[in-house]
Amino acid sequence: AVEGATHDEL
């Protein structure tokens, strides 16, 4: 997984 990039919103 990419570091910290868990956000699925805009």
Tokens 């570091």, residue located: 3
| Shortest separation between residue 9's beta carbon and another protein, angstroms | 7
Distance CA 3, CA 1 (A): 6
Query: 1 to 10, contacts with another protein by CB under 8 A?
Result: 2-5, 7-10
| Shortest separation between residue 1's beta carbon and another protein, angstroms | 9
| Shortest separation between residue 4's beta carbon and another protein, angstroms | 3
Chain residues in the site for another protein (CB under 8 A): 2-5, 7-10
